[in-house]
Copies of this chain bind each other. A is one copy, B any other.
């Protein structure tokens, strides 16, 4: 846990703009409830079996969400810079998480603990904006997830991959292929075949 530089604070403030804009007085109180954590590569942000009592904002770096099923690591999602990160279900319900989240590279993550989130939600000075903030963040992910579920319902793995080629620049550029395969709901071997099929068809 480290002190935040003013540049980091500015980046955070700007990154949150789509979700919440604080005035100066609010900001001063708000930043008393956040901490900066430096994660080493592979360091865990959340762990299956443990309650995830915090959520974060990726200031620098990236994280990978994964499950372990029958001893096998299966990647479910990623968060990159300027995105939020949490094992949401665990954070929101207080139940143990069922997935892991790890830093994929040395990462700076701003963290708000559940306790501090609740303090702010109960602080008259911040309550309204924090409720709104929570709503907009949840809605943002709701939309992402709705689209992702649609893709599993209506598309074949090949169609999902072709769609990712159009829209998933960051994932394609920064993630190894076997993570992408898991993300698409298939095995790495199968994705390798799909890629070959697409090449031949062209």
- A residues whose Cβ falls under 8 Å from a Cβ of B: 67, 69, 74-77, 88-89, 92-93, 98-99, 127-128, 131-132, 134-135, 138-139, 141-143, 145-150, 152-154, 182-183, 185
Residues of B within 8 A of A154 (CB): 67, 69, 74, 76
A132 to B128, CA, bound (A): 8
Task: Using A135-B131, A139-B138, A143-B92 as known contacts, say yes or no to A152 and B150 having CB atoms under 8 A apart.
Answer: no
* Chain A facing B: main interface SS: helix
Partner of A142, one of B88, B182, B183: B88
Q: A172 vs B134: C-alpha distance in the bound complex, in angstroms?
A: 34
**CB < 8 Å neighbour of A153 from B74, B135, B142, B143:** B74
Contact of B153 with A185 in the complex, beta carbons under 8 Å: yes
Asked if B138 contacts A142 (CB within 8 A), the reply is: yes
